[in-house]
Amino acid sequence: MRTAIIAYIATAIVFFGMDFVWLGTMVNTLYKPRLGALLLDKPIMGVAGLFYAVYVVGIVAFAVLPALRDGDWTRAAWGGALLGLVAYGTYDMTNLSTIRGWSVAVSLADWTWGVVVTAVSAVVGYAATAYFSRLL
């Protein structure tokens, strides 16, 4: 249980940090110009927080913990990349197929971002957990 908690905290810090930078730089350059009126003026933080909390559970369960069990960081990378591909792809392709005015460019950029941020978060979460678990 201690390992899972360490993995969750480490992975969450990386995922939140990277996504904060992404959204901080891309909202005005990618999302607003292409989605305009579809976006809220301010995100609903409780809903966003729920996404982050649940998604990090997925990263830990499907990428970090299996990689720790096998002692193989590449398992974290591939597991994270696959989770990002499926989760962000589901979101982006569903929006593209159901929302009038949704942007192909946004879907492709966001989907790519999901693969990258999830894979990197899983690898760093794996490495930090392996390191801190030995210390404790």
34 three-class SS = helix
Instruction: State phi, psi for 95 to the nearest 5 degrees.
Output: -60, -45
Contact 48, 20 (CB under 8 A): no
Instruction: Give domain limits for the chain.
Output: 2-135
Whether 136 shows a pLDDT value over 80: the answer reads no
Alpha-carbon distance 106 to 113, whole Å?
10
Instruction: Output the pTM of the full model.
Output: 0.95
Encode pLDDT of 86-129 as tens digits. 999 999 999 999 999 999 999 999 999 999 999 999 999 999 99
